[in-house]
Structure formats: C-alpha cells, structure tokens
Amino acid sequence: MKYLNEYRNLEATKKILDEIHKITTKPWHIMEICGGQTHSLVKNGILELLPEKVSMIHGPGCPVCVTPLNLIDKAIELLEQGVIVCSFGDMIRVPGSKKSLLEAKAIGGDLRILYSPLEAVTIAKENPTKEVVFFAVGFETTAPANALSVLHAEKLGLKNYSILASHVLVPPAMEAILADELCRIDAFLGAGHVCAIMGIQQYYPLVKKYKTPIVVTGFEPLDLVQGIYMAVKQLEEGRFELENQYSRIVKPFGNTAAIAVINKVFEVGTREWRGIGEIPNSGYVIKQAYRSYDAEAKFNISYIKVLENAKCIAGQILRGIKKPNQCDQFGKACKPSNPLGAPMVSSEGACAAYYHFSTL
Ligand code: SF4
C-alpha cells in the first residue's frame, strides 16, 4: 500500500477484525503504549468492534500526562521570574498545583507557543537581554529536535537559551508495568513513532524476560487491527515474540542520525513520571558538558513536592489498572473544560479520548 487513506480502508479493516474474532478463544489483555494509538482506537470505534474477550488497556504513552506536576510548576515559576518560556501547545492548559501555563500567561507571563524548539533558539537570538527556556517534554520522539536546539544554540554562541527537560523513555515504563504485581497485561502494541527513532532492538530483552509478545504498531485503523491480530495470534499459539507491524516506517536500528544527536546532549537517568513515580533509568537528563543549557541547573527554581488532586486516579489509568470511565469524576467534575488531571487535558490523554469519542 502506498497512500495513507488505504490504511483507513473500512473493508480491509473489517476483514482483519473478522479474523481476530475467528482466532480468539481466551480472554486477553493487550496494552497499547501510545496515547496516539489510544485516541485512534477510541475515535475509530475499534474497541467496540473487538471480541469481548480482547480487552485493550491504555498505557502511559501520553507525554503531557506523565510530565510531573512539579515541572509544570517550575515552568510557571520561570515565567514569574520574567523568563520567556516556550512550549508546544499541548502543555499549556495542563493544571499545575496552583495554575496552568496559560493562566500564568493571562496574568502577564511571556509564554510563547511554538511548533519547534528551533523557533525558541531564534527567539533567544532576537532577545539577547532576556533568558529563553524551551519546555522540552516528550518521549524518545521529541528528544532529537530538543537536543538539536541545544547544539544549534551552542553553535550560535547563545548564552541565554536553555531547556527545561522532561524526557521519558518507553522500554523502562513497560518494564515497570510488567514488574507491577497488579499487572494484567498479556501483550503490548509498541509505539510505532518511538521505534521509528530508536529501532526495535531494546524490546527483545523485555519479550524474553517477561515472556510477553510485543508488536510494534502504527496509528491508522488498519495498523491497529493488524497489530492486535498479530498479538492475539501469538497469544493463542503460545508464542512470545517481537514483531514489527509498522515496518513501512520502523527499521530495526531506527534513525541512527537522530540517535547520535540525542546521545551527544542527553544521557539516561532517573526520571519522575506523573502518576507512576520515579523509575530508574527511565528518561534523558542533560549531560554535564551541556549543563549550561539545563534550565533546572541554571535558574534558582524550587523543587516542591506537590500532591495530585486526591480525586483523580490518573496514576491507575496510566498503569492500565483502571479505565477512564471507571473514575468517579469522569464526565462529572472532570471534563476537558474543567480537567482535574492531565489525561483529560492532553490531546493524547485516555480520559479525553473516552470523553470525546467513546460509547463504552
Ligand atoms: S477522568 Fe479526570 S479525574 Fe478521572 S482520572 Fe481522568 S483526569 Fe483524573
């Protein structure tokens, strides 16, 4: 197939759904890691069309949802110190402990909403008397562009640019989920775009150690039903293998140029995941050689341990223990217009997906 709309073909999708119905004999729990996959599954009504025995569990792969509350507070504190803070649009409405970035902008903070961290470097160049910080949030997919912005600022000799980094990695999160005693996952759909950058090699040890199939999967309806079919087939046949449904994009060793840029600026370190807690070696931290571009090291910003809204069960949603419609606040006190937690704000959040599209 050559064109995107072919991956949205209804007849082809139905045929594979029929095959899933034919081969399913036992109950299976399959986690799709990525929030983009969750949205596509919910929006396209795929959850309702799967056999009752196949239950999709929604994973932690929404970068906005797992960015710790205290980091949002730090970005707001920088705004209040007069720093120009730049961010992708999906972070700005996420509630911090007292307010969101958007609310901080409304009372005078210089918040810029950008499509690329390289734009933030340009802003730093054009405002030499101001400090400029890019709120660098995301999984492995956004890390190359954020690392590149640091290298670009270095090349331009800019001293007034830095990043507030919150980069997390998919494989350690999968391991934390598998190692949890409450884990009920039989197989994973791997996040296709993350593997497009990083390749698939890191997933072999997980498959082997936990005897759990992983199928690297894309985002269109046909991709998703094919990924689910491949996972169910493995489970029904008693196999546990790493398979690549998204081979049109994902190559075994990923994008080596992007990986080289990441490795120049970042190294693996412990990261806190909102709703999950600290996971060792689960994210990128800025290397010592680039510490002058690390906003946390550069500015005097406080670390205050802030508590989540006690009524929000986002932690259980992100670990696949509960589904959004099992939260008491869902659609009542918590709506996209008044979110109590990040999964209701983000365009990739499971709660927002259920609110907008699900009939379950
Ligand atoms: S519905 Fe709202 S309160 Fe409940 S888990 Fe989702 S974000 Fe939190």
CA of 343, closest atom in ligand 1: 7
Q: Which residues contact 326 (CB under 8 A, 6 or more apart)?
A: 313
Quick one: DSSP state of residue 180? S
Q: What percent of the chain has pLDDT over 70?
A: 99
Q: What is the mean pLDDT of residues 7-12?
A: 90
Average pLDDT taken over every residue of the chain: 93
- Among 274, 323, 330, which is best to mutate for testing ligand 1, by the most ligand atoms less than 8 A from CB? 330
Are 18 and 152 found together in one domain? no
Are 102 and 213 found together in one domain? no
Q: Is residue 321 part of a domain?
A: no
Q: Residues of 180-209 as b/e, b for ≥16 C-beta within 10 angstroms?
A: eeebebbbbbbbbbbbbbbbbebbeebbee
Residue 295 confidence (pLDDT): 97
C-alpha 342/C-alpha 96 separation (Å) is: 9
* Burial of 59 per CB tally in 10 Å (0-12, 13-18, 19+): buried
19: pLDDT strictly greater than 90: yes
Are 238 and 221 found together in one domain? yes
How many angstroms separate the alpha carbon of residue 358 from the centre of ligand 1? 15
Residue 3 confidence (pLDDT): 76
C-alpha 153/C-alpha 133 separation (Å) is: 12
315 pLDDT tier (thresholds 50, 70, 90): confident
Q: Of 244, 275, 290, which residue constitutes the final position of a domain?
A: 244
Are 165 and 86 found together in one domain? yes
How many angstroms separate the alpha carbon of residue 355 from the centre of ligand 1? 10
Strand segments, DSSP code E, in 71-126 are 84-87, 111-113
Q: What is the pLDDT of residues 81-128, one digit of tens each?
A: 999 999 999 889 888 888 899 999 999 999 999 999 999 999 999 999
6: pLDDT strictly greater than 90: no
State how many domains the chain has.
Answer: 2
How many angstroms separate the alpha carbon of residue 325 from the centre of ligand 1? 9
Supply the DSSP string of 9-77, one letter for each residue: -HHHHHHHHHHHHHH--S-EEEEEEEHHHHHHHHHTTHHHHS-TTEEEEEEEE-HHHHS-HHHHHHHHH
Residue 216 has phi, psi (to 5 degrees) of: -65, 125
Sole residue written with tokens 């379950």 = 360
250: pLDDT strictly greater than 70: yes
CA of 345, closest atom in ligand 1: 7
Closest alpha carbon to 134 in 150, 117, 147: 117
Q: What is the mean pLDDT of residues 114-143?
A: 96
Pairing mode, if any, of strands 277-286 and 161-168? antiparallel
How many angstroms separate the alpha carbon of residue 315 from the centre of ligand 1? 9
pLDDT: which is higher, 298 or 94: 298
CATH code, domain carrying 280? 3.40.50.11740
Q: What is the mean pLDDT of residues 233-253?
A: 97
Q: Atom 1 (ligand 1): residue with closest C-alpha?
A: 330
Q: Atom 3 (ligand 1): residue with closest C-alpha?
A: 312
**Count of other CB atoms within 10 angstroms of residue 109:** 21
305: pLDDT strictly greater than 80: no
CA of 330, closest atom in ligand 1: 1
Helix (H, G, I), strand (E, B) or coil at 121: helix
- Among 65, 307, 317, 358, which is best to mutate for testing ligand 1, by the most ligand atoms less than 8 A from CB? 317
Q: Atom 6 (ligand 1): residue with closest C-alpha?
A: 351
How many angstroms separate the alpha carbon of residue 177 from the centre of ligand 1? 20
Structural domain span for residue 12 = 4-32+170-244
Are 164 and 263 found together in one domain? yes
How many angstroms separate the alpha carbon of residue 212 from the centre of ligand 1? 29
Q: What residues does ligand 1 touch, defined as CB less than 6 Å away?
A: 311-314, 317, 324, 327, 329-330, 334, 339-341, 343-344, 351
Are 183 and 229 found together in one domain? yes
Q: Residues of 70-87 as b/e, b for ≥16 C-beta within 10 angstroms?
A: bbbbbbbbbbeeebbbbb
Q: What is the mean pLDDT of residues 234-257?
A: 97
Residue 248 is which amino acid? R
CATH code, domain carrying 230? 3.40.50.11750
309: pLDDT strictly greater than 90: no
339 pLDDT tier (thresholds 50, 70, 90): confident
Q: Is residue 345 part of a domain?
A: no
Sole residue written with tokens 């759909």 = 189
Residue 288 confidence (pLDDT): 96
Residue 98 has phi, psi (to 5 degrees) of: -120, -40
How many angstroms separate the alpha carbon of residue 327 from the centre of ligand 1? 6
Q: Is residue 132 part of a domain?
A: yes
C-alpha 68/C-alpha 354 separation (Å) is: 23
Are 157 and 185 found together in one domain? no
Are 161 and 292 found together in one domain? yes
178: pLDDT strictly greater than 80: yes
Q: Is residue 279 part of a domain?
A: yes
How many angstroms separate the alpha carbon of residue 351 from the centre of ligand 1? 6
Answer whether 333's CB lies under 8 Å from 311's CB. yes
How many angstroms separate the alpha carbon of residue 97 from the centre of ligand 1? 15
**Count of other CB atoms within 10 angstroms of residue 229:** 21
Q: Is residue 327 part of a domain?
A: no
pLDDT: which is higher, 4 or 101: 101
Q: What is the pLDDT of residues 186-226, one digit of tens each?
A: 999 999 999 999 999 999 999 999 999 999 999 999 999 99
304 pLDDT tier (thresholds 50, 70, 90): low
Sole residue written with tokens 């307010």 = 99
C-alpha 41/C-alpha 36 separation (Å) is: 9
Are 179 and 137 found together in one domain? no
341: pLDDT strictly greater than 90: no
C-alpha 84/C-alpha 105 separation (Å) is: 10
C-alpha 344/C-alpha 100 separation (Å) is: 14
Q: What is the mean pLDDT of residues 174-191?
A: 92
